[in-house]
Copies of this chain bind each other. A is one copy, B any other.
Amino acid sequence: MKTVHNFNAGPCVLPQQAINSSIEELKDFAGTGMSVIEVSHRSKEWQGVMDETEALWKDLLQIPDGYKVLFMGGGASTQFMMVPFNLLEKKAAYLETGVWAKKASKEADFFGEVVKVASSADKNYTYIPQGYEIPKDADYFHITTNNTIYGTEIHTDMASPVTLVADMSSDIMSRPVDVSKYGLIYGGAQKNVGPAGVTFVIVREDILGKVSRKIPTMIDYRTHIKESSMFNTPPVFSILVMNKTLKWIKETGGLQAIYKQNIAKAALLYSEIDRNAMFVGTAEKASRSVMNICFVMADGYQEKESAFMEFAKERAMVGIKGHRSVGGFRASVYNACPKESVQALVDCMREFETLNT
Contacts and interface: CB of A to CB of B under 8 A. Distances in A.
Contacts of A219: 81
A197 interface: yes
Interface string A1-32: 11110101111111000010011001110011
Contact of A11 (B4, B11, B236): B236
Nearest to A239: B197
A80 B197 contact: no
A37 B14 contact: yes
Contacts of A217: 77, 80-81, 103, 106-107
A237 interface: yes
| Interface of A, helix, strand, loop or mixed by DSSP | loop
A33 B3 contact: yes
A74 interface: yes
Contact of A40 (B2, B9, B41): B9
A14 B38 contact: yes
Given A19-B37, A26-B19, A37-B19, A74 B72 contact: yes
Interface residues of A, number: 66
Contacts of A72: 73-74
Considering the complex of A and B, which 6 residue pairs feature the smallest CB-CB distances, nearest first? A73-B73, A197-B235, A37-B195, A2-B33, A81-B216, A77-B232
A41 B196 contact: yes
Number of copies: 2
A183 interface: no
Interface of A: 1-4, 6, 8-14, 19, 22-23, 26-28, 31-35, 37-41, 72-78, 80-81, 85, 103, 106-107, 110, 188, 190, 195-199, 214, 216-219, 231-238, 241, 316, 318-319
A241 B240 CA distance: 15
A202 B9 CA distance: 31
Contacts of A216: 80-81, 85, 107, 110
A188 B38 CA distance: 14
Contact of A41 (B11, B23, B214): B11
A34 B107 contact: no
A77 B6 contact: no
Nearest to A28: B1
A101 to B, nearest CB: 15
